[in-house]
Amino acid sequence: GENVEQHPSTLSVQEGDSAVIKCTYSDSASNYFPWYKQELGKRPQLIIDIRSNVGEKKDQRIAVTLNKTAKHFSLHITETQPEDSAVYFCAAKGGSARQLTFGSGTQLTVLP
Amino acid sequence: GAGVSQSPSNKVTEKGKDVELRCDPISGHTALYWYRQSLGQGLEFLIYFQGNSAPDKSGLPSDRFSAERTGGSVSTLTIQRTQQEDSAVYLCASSGRGTGISGANVLTFGAGSRLTVL
């Protein structure tokens, strides 16, 4: 089945700096890659997603890039703010899998 | 309903007891997922229901875990003879058909059921 690895597990940045979180996946047939944000004590919520026929997608301060050849995708957050502090999960789905496989999560802390 | 509802929000039980966790998905959503999140850990897939198809049970960690979905709506996750390592937050999510692959795969999560096994 699909295996998703996520790095780093923790990331601290100064407010205003950029943050990058990287994920790799194993199933070359995967075609859908969402990112979820989970604030402390709350449920995960989708923040951005990308399909395999697209190399990059942006939504205001967040962007996701996908390299199908290398089987990795990344989340980029620019001009970070304290409210960006949360755990971020990447995920992959496609091929024969019917469920999303999540990465292990990245605890992002934005320091004021 | 407006969102995914889970109950109970908190459950404390003694080792060896059985527990049932309930999930009420968004009305009309055909897909329902159960994930487990241990303290400070990622989201571990447990089971997936899609319409009338046979569920994908490949993530259930042992035969003490089972789940059913009645009438294509409400789902119950049952853990028999609970162990301390079962302590975690159990998250339910649902997704609808939407348009295109993104819409059909966007998961809406419930608030979770926090299980503590003493």
Per-residue pLDDT tens for A3-23? 999 999 999 999 999 999 999
Q: Which residue of A has its CA nearest to B90?
A: A43
Interface test with B, best of A98, A101, A106 (most B CBs within 10 A): A98
Would the pLDDT of B101 be above 60?
Answer: no
Cβ distance of B110 and A43 shorter than 8 Å: yes
Would the pLDDT of B94 be above 90?
Answer: yes
Residues of chain A with pLDDT under 50: none
Looking at residue B103, its pLDDT comes to 58
Burial of B40 (0-12, 13-18, 19+ CB in 10 A): exposed
Mean pLDDT of B4-28: 96
The tokens for A89 are 């999960």
Would the pLDDT of B57 be above 70?
Answer: yes
Cβ distance of B41 and A105 shorter than 8 Å: yes
Residues from chain B contacting residue A45 (CB–CB below 8 Å): 109
Q: Could you give the dihedral angle defined by the CA atoms of residues A75, A46, A99 and B26, in that order, rounded to the nearest 10 degrees?
A: 180
